[in-house]
Structure 1
Amino acid sequence: MTRHPLARYAVSAVLVGVPVLLALVGPLFAADGTGKDVAFSTGAGHPFGTDFVGRDVWNEVLLGGRSLVVTAVSATALTYLAAVPWGLLAGMTRNRVLDEVVMRPLDVVLAIPSMLLLLLLASIAPDVRVLVGVVALVNLPDVVRICRAAALSLSARPAVEAMRLQGESGVHIGLTYVAPAMLRTLAADLGTRFTGAIYLVASASFLGVGIAPGASDWAAMVDRNRTGLFLQPWAVVVPAVLVVMLSIGVNLAFDRWLHDRAGVAR
């Protein structure tokens, strides 16, 4: 019996929907976070216990998802907004000098370890907007290379040659033929890229970059409460599970979409 198309996305919808819903709506139902109890306790009134300074873990979960999710989504979107036209330009140009000029600066970025950039950011400009830019910059070279490789292959097709012979401009060919044909390649990369952005943002949160000291954040919760893992594990487990759910769910959704586009039935 064939399942309804939407049913095939049920698992990924739940995995993505739960953390995203908590991140976006959770702050509306959370308290101000100033109330404190005994640290790492499991007393009444705290369904998931308290954290390292006695704050309610569930309340911190409601407050702590927005920064991680919004930053990771913004950084991923910024990466592709910059990388797709960059990769198209490099892949469709027939000028080797221009190709070198466009691609060589990316080698400099590749040579700098991402954690080194984060440490530099932590000491110079610990701001969430700068964090979004750094995460996007770290992912930019890989995505540009993927876009360039896809554009090189697509621009060699007879259809593109026919469009050029008809006098179509490179911009028109890129926007109407090459870019749409790259969607499956980009979708295959997007899930992995978003997961990488999540963990890079989480690493930044461990370093205190992009969040105010003491602010609620899922990644920071894991770091701050790890000393009490065996006393009160929920303070670490709950935020960690939400981050993992989001990463797995996004990749499952894109994998399912790619199979559907390819006409592969499961």
Structure 2
Amino acid sequence: MTARRWIYAALVAVPLLFALAGPLLARGAPGERSIPFGPSPWSPFGTDRLGRDVLAAALTGGQTFLVTGLVTVLGAYLVGFFIGVAAAAATRAWLDDLLMRPVDVLLCIPSLLIIMVAALHTRGSAVAIACAIGLALVAPIARFVRMAAAGVVHGPVMDALRMQGESRAYRYGRYAVRETARPLAADFGVRFTAAVYFLASANFLGLGFDTTSTDWAVSVAANKDALMIAPWSVVLPGALIVLLVVGTNLLVDDLLSDPRSIAAAGARRTGRDA
């Protein structure tokens, strides 16, 4: 494992540690509240607008945020994957149109508009907003999966398997999964980033979780007016969101790099050193 990969993994590990182990670590925080935007007896980060310790709030505010983002993108990818694969494998043009034209219409609708409509009609239900975010992600996922799978499903290898009379479906599936795994995994990282962005935007606008929640995005929105007098109440939760998004993309890009490109780059470095 290269030093660069260790750095990328560390960027992701910090917000994950806050989200997964945070509630346990925050048990030692004082239960009573202090002066808003003042010093805290538990950590050097001070208190937020409600007098809660900023570090304790950050430790308890990531779990729901992270789980909601993961579940949303997994559900969206499940739906988008089946639509995209079905469209790519369609042998009739009308079937491809039947599947993809509604997707094209959905692509034309601004994602934040879908989220805002869901929030207004459900009075800010977190479940409805998560579903709206998933709906906004389905269209680009289906488009990408269709593009990635089309060259495989209708490629020469599949044609050769059909000409050989290969009737076992798992042979087709195993080959298709092997060929599309790398681009789809990379795209999953991008969609997770998009889900985090939409979720953070909804919470920042007050459309998601309760405004007194310790959720990272809610904390940034709730405390932004005190950025100059209590910067950690905004910087700490905001930095955790940035680390999660940037670290995830960098780590996924590094893990999914083409081995041939990595070998070629290593050979060039060796040649320069020599």
TM-score above 0.5, yes or no:
yes
* Alignment partner, residue 188 of structure 2: 190
Identity %: 37
Amino acid of the structure 1 residue aligned with 2:237: P
* Alignment partner, residue 154 of structure 1: 152
The Cα of 1:190 is off from its aligned counterpart by 2.2
Structure 1: state its 5+ residue gaps: none
Question: 1:47 is paired with a residue of what secondary structure?
Answer: coil
* Alignment partner, residue 231 of structure 2: 233
The Cα of 1:9 is off from its aligned counterpart by 2.2
- Listed as ranges, the matches of 1:23-172 within 5 Å are 23-31=19-27, 35-125=32-122, 126-168=124-166, 172=170
How far, CA to CA, are the matches of 1:144 and 1:169 in structure 2?
A: 27
Higher mean displacement: 190-199 or 5-14: 5-14
Indicate if the aligned counterparts of 2:205 and 2:221 stay in contact, CA closer than 8 A. no
How far, CA to CA, are the matches of 1:142 and 1:168 in structure 2?
A: 33
Higher mean displacement: 18-27 or 158-167: 158-167
Amino acid of the structure 2 residue aligned with 1:37: S
Indicate if the aligned counterparts of 1:88 and 1:174 stay in contact, CA closer than 8 A. no
Indicate if the aligned counterparts of 2:19 and 2:63 stay in contact, CA closer than 8 A. yes
CA gap 1:85/1:214 in 2 versus in 1, 3 angstroms: same
Deviation readout 1:32-68 (Å, 9 max, x if unpaired): 8852111111354342011112111011001100111
Indicate if the aligned counterparts of 2:30 and 2:42 stay in contact, CA closer than 8 A. no
CA gap 1:144/1:47 in 2 versus in 1, 3 angstroms: same
Deviation readout 1:68-119 (Å, 9 max, x if unpaired): 1111111111122122222111112121000000101112211221111111
Amino acid of the structure 1 residue aligned with 2:246: I
2:8 is equivalent to residue 12 of structure 1: yes
Indicate if the aligned counterparts of 2:46 and 2:53 stay in contact, CA closer than 8 A. yes
- Listed as ranges, the matches of 1:242-253 within 5 Å are 242-253=240-251
Indicate if the aligned counterparts of 1:122 and 1:207 stay in contact, CA closer than 8 A. no
Question: 2:262 is paired with a residue of what secondary structure?
Answer: coil
Indicate if the aligned counterparts of 2:119 and 2:128 stay in contact, CA closer than 8 A. no
CA gap 1:261/1:72 in 2 versus in 1, 3 angstroms: farther
Structure 2: state its 5+ residue gaps: 266-274
The Cα of 1:187 is off from its aligned counterpart by 2.4
Question: 1:53 is paired with a residue of what secondary structure?
Answer: coil
* C-alpha RMSD over aligned residues: 2.1
How far, CA to CA, are the matches of 2:16 and 2:109 in structure 1?
A: 32
Amino acid of the structure 1 residue aligned with 2:69: A
* Alignment partner, residue 268 of structure 2: none
Higher mean displacement: 122-131 or 102-111: 122-131
Using the size of structure 2 for normalisation, the TM-score is 0.88
How far, CA to CA, are the matches of 2:172 and 2:72 in structure 1?
A: 24
- Number of matched pairs: 262
CA gap 1:111/1:169 in 2 versus in 1, 3 angstroms: farther
Using the size of structure 1 for normalisation, the TM-score is 0.90
* Alignment partner, residue 205 of structure 1: 203
Higher mean displacement: 161-170 or 252-261: 161-170
